[in-house]
Amino acid sequence: MLEETNPEALNRQKQIRRTGLKELPNAKKGEVVLRFAPNPNGPLTLGHARGVTINSEYANLYDGKVVLRFDDTDSKVKPPIKEAYRWIESDYEWLTGKKPDVIIRASERMDIYLEYAEKMLGEGFGYVCKCSAAEFKKLRDNSEECSCRNKTEQENLSDWILMNDGSLGEGTAVVRVKTSVNLPNPALRDWPALRIQHSLHPMVGNKYKVWPLLDFQSAIEDYLQGVTHIIRGKDLMDSTRKQTLLYEHFDWEYPETLYWGRVKIHEFGSFSTSGMRKDIEKGVFNGWDDPRLPTLRALQRRGFDADAMKDFWIDLGLTQKDISVSLQTIEAFNSSVIDERCERRAFVRDPELLDIEFIDGNYLSTLSIKRHPTSHIEGDRIWDLIDRKIYLEKKDLLKKEIRLKDFADVEIKKQKVSVQSYERLDKRAIVHWLPISMAKKAILTIPEGDKIVIQEGMMEDFELIKGSIVQLERVGYAIIESENNSDIIQLLWLHG
């Protein structure tokens, strides 16, 4: 049957799994311009990481450019932080491994936006509206025009001057884009483009009295930068529609637009920069790099690898579904990247000191153990056994016969362990341990939700280099935070 109707269906290839990002619609190699536009009111979070990764990856794929644009046109509700510009640039660079192709700040391009606003008023597709927000909402919800809508260009332009010279106070006037009050979607009806803000801006002070809103500023700037593809959250779908109406007025062509849905990480919930800022100010967290926080700098500090993060976001891809993923998934990506370059070290929590007794009174004075079990890293760790005292984890003492990893089968008797064989003779449990001469006190800090859990123990004192990630055998990965010859080793937990 099938042979008659559709013969080629019979020898079609099995569909293969697409890897990497989907093709960008209407994209020509070498001509793609993308943008990533954060508000500089804090450093980048895991949520931003998606935008950074997807945009820069598409730029790579199409030999395109990424514009990093600081959307800092609100100094009141989400005031910019002066340092955040720098933070974001460095977070971006950490994650992508390179600088953005273009960096601009909306606040330094204000003259341009105001010029376009004036043009809009002069050409009659915008107007200065003096209704209160509440009044306008009421009119808009009933598809009614407000009386400001039919002012002449001259009247609008003179009101515009009053807005700009500071004669009109905050909240008394707003510039609207004329669309139509009959649009089915109320959000699009004569939407506000610029409003008055007299508050001080951290970068340009009180130079401007009128500031554009996101939809206006972003629309103008995307045009000016020649942005060909906008990739944004789907919560901004109405922005696309508003901006498209503005582009029609200016007779410009709107970029291709793609959307992603909302991402939550089980362990963190959603990412609110302003929320974190408050908590840091209140002292709930110690700073933007507090290991409990989902900021990129906190993740970087803990030892997450930028390439692993990138792999993770590309694997999630670009879908409009709202998703909630587990940190475990990111950790799995991270482990696969870092494992082969992490040396092993012993860390004995809840340590118990015991005497060790060798066979026939003979004893070994040193022991060589691989830095990495599959020799991704050459060389050995040398352990000194001369003192004949070792640390074991209390819970491992419950078993009576265990094997000290990389050393010997032993029997546990009260405060003593005695070697039965250096060869491995049976399948007894293998535990990690530490000779006293190699042990240094260590504190492992584990972020757990909103809390910090501290575990004390004895750490293998062998080439502990600040900033390096080690795998604590039978425990998990951690980063060394203390200086190289500290008396107490500070470890920060990464993951299992």
Partner RNA sequence: GCUCGUGUAGUGUAGUGGUCCAUCAUGAAGCCCUCUCGAGGCUUCGACCCGGGUUCAAAUCCCGGCACGAGCACCA
Options 31, 108, 315, 401; binder of RNA; rule CB under 7 A: 315
Options 192, 224, 355, 445; binder of RNA; rule CB under 7 A: 192
The answer to whether 365 contacts RNA (rule: CB under 7 A) is: no
Q: Concatenated DSSP letters for 196-236?
A: E--SPBTTTBTS-SEEE-HHHHHHHHHHHHT--EEEEEGGG
State the minimum distance, in angstroms, from the CB of residue 252 to RNA: 20
Options 68, 84, 196, 479; binder of RNA; rule CB under 7 A: 196
The answer to whether 317 contacts RNA (rule: CB under 7 A) is: yes
* Interacting span for RNA (CB under 7 A) from 59-67, 71-79, 108-116, 445-453: 71-79
CA-CA distance, 472 to 443, in Å (whole number)?
Answer: 13
Q: Label residue 251 exposed, middle or buried (CB < 10 Å: 0-12, 13-18, 19+).
A: exposed
CA-CA distance, 438 to 393, in Å (whole number)?
Answer: 15
State the minimum distance, in angstroms, from the CB of residue 487 to RNA: 26
Residues in 128-157 at the binding interface with RNA, rule: CB under 7 A? 131-133, 136-137
The answer to whether 209 contacts RNA (rule: CB under 7 A) is: no
CB 262 within 8 A of CB 324: no
Phi, psi of 170 (to 5 degrees): -55, 140
Residue 414 identity (one-letter amino acid): K
Options 161, 200, 284, 323; binder of RNA; rule CB under 7 A: 323
Options 68, 271, 403, 470; binder of RNA; rule CB under 7 A: 403
CB within 8 Å of 182: residues ≥ 6 apart: 143, 189
Task: Report the SS3 class of residue 185.
Answer: coil
Judged by CB, which is closer to RNA: 248, or 483?
248
Q: How many residues bind to RNA according to rule CB under 7 A?
A: 93
CA-CA distance, 315 to 21, in Å (whole number)?
Answer: 8
Task: Report the number of secondary-structure helices (H) and strands (E) in the chain.
Answer: 12, 27
CA-CA distance, 342 to 355, in Å (whole number)?
Answer: 31
Judged by CB, which is closer to RNA: 226, or 496?
496
- Reading the block at residue 403, the tokens are 């094997």
Judged by CB, which is closer to RNA: 213, or 452?
213
State the minimum distance, in angstroms, from the CB of residue 476 to RNA: 7
The answer to whether 159 contacts RNA (rule: CB under 7 A) is: no
State the minimum distance, in angstroms, from the CB of residue 266 to RNA: 8
Torsion of CA 329, 330, 336, 341, to 10 degrees: -150
Nearest Cα to 243, choosing from 270, 216, 221, 223? 216
* Interacting span for RNA (CB under 7 A) from 2-10, 92-100, 411-419, 456-464: 2-10
Judged by CB, which is closer to RNA: 244, or 329?
329
Options 12, 29, 414, 451; binder of RNA; rule CB under 7 A: 12
Q: What's the full length of the chain, in residues?
A: 496
Judged by CB, which is closer to RNA: 45, or 335?
335
* Interacting span for RNA (CB under 7 A) from 73-81, 120-128, 287-295, 482-490: 73-81
The answer to whether 401 contacts RNA (rule: CB under 7 A) is: no
Residues in 89-128 at the binding interface with RNA, rule: CB under 7 A? none
The answer to whether 398 contacts RNA (rule: CB under 7 A) is: no
* Interacting span for RNA (CB under 7 A) from 90-98, 293-301, 358-366, 469-477: 469-477
Q: Label residue 237 exposed, middle or buried (CB < 10 Å: 0-12, 13-18, 19+).
A: middle
Phi, psi of 351 (to 5 degrees): -75, 145
The answer to whether 363 contacts RNA (rule: CB under 7 A) is: no
Residues in 20-39 at the binding interface with RNA, rule: CB under 7 A? 22, 37-39
The answer to whether 411 contacts RNA (rule: CB under 7 A) is: no
Judged by CB, which is closer to RNA: 323, or 465?
323
Judged by CB, which is closer to RNA: 119, or 424?
424
The answer to whether 325 contacts RNA (rule: CB under 7 A) is: yes
Element of type H or E holding 20: none
x/- string (CB under 7 A) for RNA, residues 424-453? Answer: x-----xxx---------------------
CA-CA distance, 49 to 96, in Å (whole number)?
Answer: 10
Question: In the Cβ-directed half-sphere of 72, how many Cα atoms lie within 13 Å?
Answer: 28
Options 115, 153, 322, 456; binder of RNA; rule CB under 7 A: 322
Options 26, 152, 328, 366; binder of RNA; rule CB under 7 A: 328
CA-CA distance, 96 to 310, in Å (whole number)?
Answer: 8
The answer to whether 261 contacts RNA (rule: CB under 7 A) is: yes
Q: Is the dihedral of CA 355, 356, 361, 366 positive or negative?
A: negative
Torsion of CA 276, 277, 280, 281, to 10 degrees: -150
* Interacting span for RNA (CB under 7 A) from 58-66, 85-93, 116-124, 474-482: 474-482
